[in-house]
Chains A and B, each alone.
Chain A
């Protein structure tokens, strides 16, 4: 499948086509045209192009076209040999820190770093002098000179892989360093290495041509493309094709290697464009626009989020309807893949094509996000807190100006006034010494403090809704509590509503008035959070609550588990998505999807013992 992906691209097709031609020439040209290339014709010295000699003859009357074809073998063999030398030396040097231990490895790495700083050509010339003139010397010189670049690459790639836990696990299991290198590290860095080696081969080819052209490479009577160019240069004004012919061969072979490398890179995903090869097979179903529920800060009807995927569209959210009243706190719980985070992102207007958002309406603070241009007006009435406090700030800017930007953009405040408000807001989220902190960079903040600053950023405007997507998942319990308290306090002070997304049932019951439970892109149950542990009617909700140990869990019994795997969002079953894992499911459940009626989407909700 991967090979097909390489070949089907224009770049891959051209690259492989050219490379095949070049390799065929290298393999068979000396056999087929070796005699013709060596045949001396004294009556036809330095002749121009003719029907018999397409690009003319050389100073002994030998046919240059045949010589260019025959020279392919030596040129390619030398280029591949030199690349192989670079690659092997590079891998050895790059693996040194793994094989030799920390201190010796560091020495090797520093040496490589110094060598990388030298211009490549200088190294080639230096080594060419060291190893002596001739094909072998040139191959060694080019190979050794290319090694530092590969060593650097290998070192970086291997360092990333050897941080992985499976390498640590192999070491703990007593696997020797060499075996770890061969079994775990090399296979996992092979793809980028192959891509780079293929591309480097093209460059090496050119370097060789250059060396031979300078007279440092291949010596007569052997000849490669560089040597042919050198020979043809004397008559370049009389017979330009004599020099250009081998030149064109170098260009074509170089292109063949580079395009093949590009095609590999694209196929291995190094330069892949997401979504291009993926299709949205389903036609867009028209959604009838519906009016928003009155007196709500958030009203959503029939929200669907669809992501294009290689195996068909992923229906991550499949029709979610809910509303949040002014000042209300609503929690959304569910496991990964339930669509809870995408629901939050859609509410925040943060989903971009190719991911598709459809809804009857999606009204946030009076703005229908399904209408054009609504996002801009949301800037001050919506606040967002994300899970990872490290990535929600731009690491290159100070915290204060990042907060101030909100007011400068949305409220057209001046720089000074905006910064003053930023400091005031940082104080409001209980960050000590806000003036000093505003001048600091995000990395100088702890995780909890960054989350506070993020909430502060939401408070730069006058938020009527705060969307918090797993705001405390990356934090310790003690810090989590502070952030949750801050959210509660902000709600009390500003009267803002809260939409809290979490996988943690206990966090949601602590903070929210009402809970939506999501499974496979649908809301399966909606109930007051105080009833979540005791009065849940949907079997999934009950299983979810029972699966989480708390400080009162019965230690003598095994924890409740939900058998089976979560529904695959590409192939959602026709009936109830939870039916395959549900102990109560019958044929009706598997055939007909239950609607959300009176707060629960389950055919069996009346049978569940409460």
Chain B
């Protein structure tokens, strides 16, 4: 695994600045959480790293070299919506095989598919199923397996649990933690849910209006926030402070 670093990244659509000089580093084997409100630019940052959003300024480097935005990216992404992230007409096995870096023979390919499915705790028999037969949580695991199939150096997870039911969310979060432990994955984990980020991330970056307002070890940022906006986010959590009934 490697280090993904964002240097003064700026993304602008017309006159609207989505990301304003964002610098962030996802170091080797670390999971960095990225939190913020919807529309603050979280997803744009991830999409920029894989060439799906054009940079207006700055650069995104992987181990000191620019991330290629053509061909197979060494940085892979897992998307939010489990119902749109798999081609409904391709079996699980075909989706995984498509992302593999080299063309394998039939048996080698089957073995690799089984290995990938085992990594995300799915039965190898699932390889023959179409996504329509899978639940949301199973689809999200297949999407994760597809990202792993490309043998990435860094994985970007964009709100991967927010469309899932809570009982399934737990299983996916456990999986993310297992994979970091077993595979040493570097990951940028984007979520609006602070409790989820607290559970999986080593470091947290707080994004507000296209700027990173706070960055540090998870326990420090969420336990002793220094920026007003971080405090504001934490105070808004249900159960954090009793609801004021008089405003």
Taking the closest CB of chain B, its distance from the CB of A335, in whole angstroms, is 4
Identify the closest chain A residue to B246 (Cβ). A489
Is B220 part of the contact surface with A, judged by Cβ < 8 Å? Answer: no
Q: Which residues in A have their C-beta under 8 angstroms from that of B1?
A: none
Per-residue CB contact flags for chain A residues 141-159 toward chain B (1 = under 8 Å, else 0) read 0000000000000000000
Q: Which residues in A have their C-beta under 8 angstroms from that of B95?
A: 166
Identify the closest chain A residue to B196 (Cβ). A549
User: Among A165, A171, A561, which residue has the most Cβ atoms of chain B within 10 A?
Assistant: A165
Given known pairs A549-B173, A561-B174, the reply for A174 and B243 (CB within 8 Å) is no
Is A169 part of the contact surface with B, judged by Cβ < 8 Å? Answer: yes
Q: Which residues in A have their C-beta under 8 angstroms from that of B222?
A: 551
Q: Which residues in B have their C-beta under 8 angstroms from that of A550?
A: 195, 239
In the complex, the answer to whether A165 meets B73 with C-beta atoms within 8 Å is: no
Is B72 part of the contact surface with A, judged by Cβ < 8 Å? Answer: yes
Q: Which residues in B have their C-beta under 8 angstroms from that of A187?
A: 87, 89
Is B20 part of the contact surface with A, judged by Cβ < 8 Å? Answer: no
Taking the closest CB of chain B, its distance from the CB of A2, in whole angstroms, is 14
Per-residue CB contact flags for chain B residues 97-140 toward chain A (1 = under 8 Å, else 0) read 01101000000000000000000000000000000000100000
Per-residue CB contact flags for chain A residues 548-571 toward chain B (1 = under 8 Å, else 0) read 111101010011111001100000
A336 to B135, CA, bound (A): 12
In the complex, the answer to whether A171 meets B52 with C-beta atoms within 8 Å is: yes
Is A184 part of the contact surface with B, judged by Cβ < 8 Å? Answer: yes
Is A425 part of the contact surface with B, judged by Cβ < 8 Å? Answer: no
Given known pairs A488-B243, A548-B170, A561-B171, the reply for A173 and B194 (CB within 8 Å) is no
A553 to B246, CA, bound (A): 30
A492 to B236, CA, bound (A): 21
Identify the closest chain A residue to B167 (Cβ). A562
Given known pairs A188-B88, A188-B89, A335-B165, the reply for A549 and B198 (CB within 8 Å) is yes
Q: Per a CB cutoff under 8 Å, which of B87, B199, B238 touches A510? A: B238
Q: Which residues in B have their C-beta under 8 angstroms from that of A553?
A: 195, 198-199
Is B7 part of the contact surface with A, judged by Cβ < 8 Å? Answer: no
Identify the closest chain B residue to A185 (Cβ). B87
In the complex, the answer to whether A559 meets B233 with C-beta atoms within 8 Å is: no
Q: Which residues in A have their C-beta under 8 angstroms from that of B170?
A: 547-549, 559-562
Per-residue CB contact flags for chain B residues 168-207 toward chain A (1 = under 8 Å, else 0) read 0111011001000000000000001011101100000000
In the complex, the answer to whether A183 meets B238 with C-beta atoms within 8 Å is: no
Q: Which residues in B have their C-beta under 8 angstroms from that of A562?
A: 167, 170
Q: Per a CB cutoff under 8 Å, which of A172, A492, A561 touches B52? A: A172
Q: Per a CB cutoff under 8 Å, which of B98, B167, B169, B196 touches A183? A: B98
Looking at the complex, which of A204-212, A244-252, A501-509 is the stretch in contact with chain B?
A501-509
Identify the closest chain B residue to A547 (Cβ). B170
* B202-247 contacts to A (CB < 8 Å): 222, 232-240, 243-247
Q: Which residues in B have their C-beta under 8 angstroms from that of A188?
A: 87-89
Is A391 part of the contact surface with B, judged by Cβ < 8 Å? Answer: no
Given known pairs A165-B81, A173-B99, the reply for A543 and B167 (CB within 8 Å) is yes
A481 to B196, CA, bound (A): 18
User: Among B98, B169, B198, B247, which residue has the most Cβ atoms of chain A within 10 A?
Assistant: B98
Q: Which residues in B have their C-beta under 8 angstroms from that of A507?
A: 238
User: Among B77, B150, B167, B170, which residue has the most Cβ atoms of chain A within 10 A?
Assistant: B167
Q: Which residues in A have their C-beta under 8 angstroms from that of B15?
A: none
A562 to B170, CA, bound (A): 9
Is B63 part of the contact surface with A, judged by Cβ < 8 Å? Answer: no
Q: Which residues in B have their C-beta under 8 angstroms from that of A484?
A: 238, 243
Is B50 part of the contact surface with A, judged by Cβ < 8 Å? Answer: yes
Per-residue CB contact flags for chain B residues 156-172 toward chain A (1 = under 8 Å, else 0) read 00000000011101110
A196 to B36, CA, bound (A): 45
Is B14 part of the contact surface with A, judged by Cβ < 8 Å? Answer: no
Q: How many residues of A are counted as interface, with CB atoms below 8 angstroms from the partner's CB atoms?
A: 53
Looking at the complex, which of A25-33, A372-380, A472-480 is the stretch in contact with chain B?
A472-480
In the complex, the answer to whether A477 meets B194 with C-beta atoms within 8 Å is: yes
Q: Which residues in B have their C-beta under 8 angstroms from that of A184?
A: 87, 90
Identify the closest chain B residue to A179 (Cβ). B98
In the complex, the answer to whether B237 meets A548 with C-beta atoms within 8 Å is: no
A167 to B84, CA, bound (A): 9
Which bucket holds chain B's interface residue count?
Answer: 35 or more
Identify the closest chain A residue to B82 (Cβ). A165
User: Among A172, A476, A505, which residue has the most Cβ atoms of chain B within 10 A?
Assistant: A172
A477 to B240, CA, bound (A): 11
A511 to B245, CA, bound (A): 10
In the complex, the answer to whether B73 meets A174 with C-beta atoms within 8 Å is: yes
* B61-76 contacts to A (CB < 8 Å): 71-73, 75-76
Identify the closest chain A residue to B78 (Cβ). A169
Taking the closest CB of chain B, its distance from the CB of A103, in whole angstroms, is 13
Q: Which residues in B have their C-beta under 8 angstroms from that of A165?
A: 79-81, 84-85
Q: Which residues in B have their C-beta under 8 angstroms from that of A335?
A: 165-167
A551 to B218, CA, bound (A): 11
Identify the closest chain B residue to A447 (Cβ). B38
In the complex, the answer to whether A489 meets B98 with C-beta atoms within 8 Å is: no
A560 to B192, CA, bound (A): 21
Is A164 part of the contact surface with B, judged by Cβ < 8 Å? Answer: yes
A249 to B77, CA, bound (A): 57
* B24-39 contacts to A (CB < 8 Å): 37-38
Taking the closest CB of chain B, its distance from the CB of A166, in whole angstroms, is 5
Is A168 part of the contact surface with B, judged by Cβ < 8 Å? Answer: yes
In the complex, the answer to whether B243 meets A547 with C-beta atoms within 8 Å is: no
Given known pairs A173-B76, A478-B232, A559-B173, the reply for A183 and B143 (CB within 8 Å) is no
Identify the closest chain B residue to A557 (Cβ). B174
Identify the closest chain A residue to B149 (Cβ). A173
Per-residue CB contact flags for chain A residues 488-505 toward chain B (1 = under 8 Å, else 0) read 110010000000000111
Q: Per a CB cutoff under 8 Å, which of B147, B167, B232 touches A544? A: B167
A-B complex: 6 closest residue pairs judged by Cβ atoms: A174-B72, A165-B79, A506-B238, A559-B170, A173-B99, A547-B170
21 contacts between A and B (CB under 8 A): A164-B84, A165-B79, A166-B84, A168-B52, A168-B79, A169-B146, A173-B76, A173-B98, A173-B149, A174-B101, A183-B87, A184-B90, A335-B165, A335-B166, A477-B194, A484-B238, A506-B238, A544-B166, A551-B198, A553-B198, A566-B165
Residues of B within 8 A of A (CB): 37-38, 50-52, 71-73, 75-77, 79-81, 84-90, 95, 98-99, 101, 135, 143, 146-147, 149-150, 165-167, 169-171, 173-174, 177, 192, 194-196, 198-199, 222, 232-240, 243-247
